[in-house]
Amino acid sequence: MANYAVEPQMLQPYLPKGVELDLYEGEAYVSLVGFMFKHSRIFNIPIPLMGTFEEINLRFYVKRKTAEGYRRGVVFINETVPYKPVAWLANKLYKEHYIAIPTNHNIVIGEDTKLIQYDWKMGQTWNHLEVKASTSQREMDRGSLEEFIFEHYFGYTRIDENRSQEYRINHPRWMVNDVLEAFVDCDFAAMYGETFAQLSTKAPKSVIIAEGSAIRVDWKRHPF
């Protein structure tokens, strides 16, 4: 996850109604994320031939005030996968913002280090997100940017100008690895629009990597 500090007003047009930006030490963040879906299921039914694939997404962080306190979640600006049926289904069922374009990955795990690379092609251009990291696992530091980025357990989607929906993302607290080297080459304007063009030449504030785990995304959406 390559994390960029941005001006809060940049994200205001993407805010679903009923949520507000969640800031870390006064700064808003967007994250370019690469990961693998493995053995995916819908309604606990395996997806034939398409259950394992790369996803690359751009997301930012929000919170919603409820009677029980704040719920902290994410809003996806774009989610990229290689399979058109997966993108169509997610957009149709969940009102998400998926696109289907060619993607690749390269994962090489050694005794002490691992190389994780994701590639995705927009038009004629390949984009890249790559890290070299230690294989040693550690807990996230309390109050750290790592914890802020990972500890958001709700997703929020705009239905229209006046309605939004909420869903829960279920997974344990993740372990992280120390990043030794990182490389990002992304045409943010082509991928995500001119609003994000400045990120193509801006160094991320941080690059972090988590071990990952089994994840369950609640089927039921809660409109508000």
pLDDT at position 218 is: 85
**pLDDT over threshold 80, residue 43:** no
pLDDT at position 120 is: 98
Residue 43 lies in a domain: yes
Residue 7 lies in a domain: yes
CA torsion, ordered 215, 216, 221, 224, to nearest 10 deg: -50
The whole domain housing 93 covers: 2-101+137-174+189-213
pLDDT at position 220 is: 79
Q: Which two tokens stand for residue 77?
A: 């600006």
Maximum distance among all alpha carbons in the chain?
52
Residue 111 lies in a domain: no
pLDDT in tens, 65-112: 999 999 999 999 999 999 998 899 888 877 789 999 999 999 999 999
Name the percent of the chain lying above pLDDT 70: 100
* Conformational region of residue 114, where left means phi above 0, alpha means psi within -120 to 50, and beta covers everything else: beta
Residue 128 lies in a domain: no
The count of domains in the chain is: 1
Q: Could you give the CA distance from residue 79 to residue 139 in angstroms, rounded to a whole number? A: 28
**Element (DSSP H or E) covering residue 89:** helix 84-94
**pLDDT over threshold 80, residue 61:** yes
**pLDDT over threshold 90, residue 39:** no
**pLDDT over threshold 80, residue 50:** no
**pLDDT over threshold 80, residue 180:** yes
Amino acid occupying residue 147 = E
Residue 113 lies in a domain: no
Residue 47 lies in a domain: yes
pLDDT at position 27 is: 97
Hey, CA dihedral for 192, 128, 72, 100, is it positive or negative? positive
Q: Contact at 8 Å (CB) between 129 and 56? A: yes
Q: Which two tokens stand for residue 193?
A: 């629009």
pLDDT at position 48 is: 76
Residue 200 lies in a domain: yes
Residue 222 lies in a domain: no
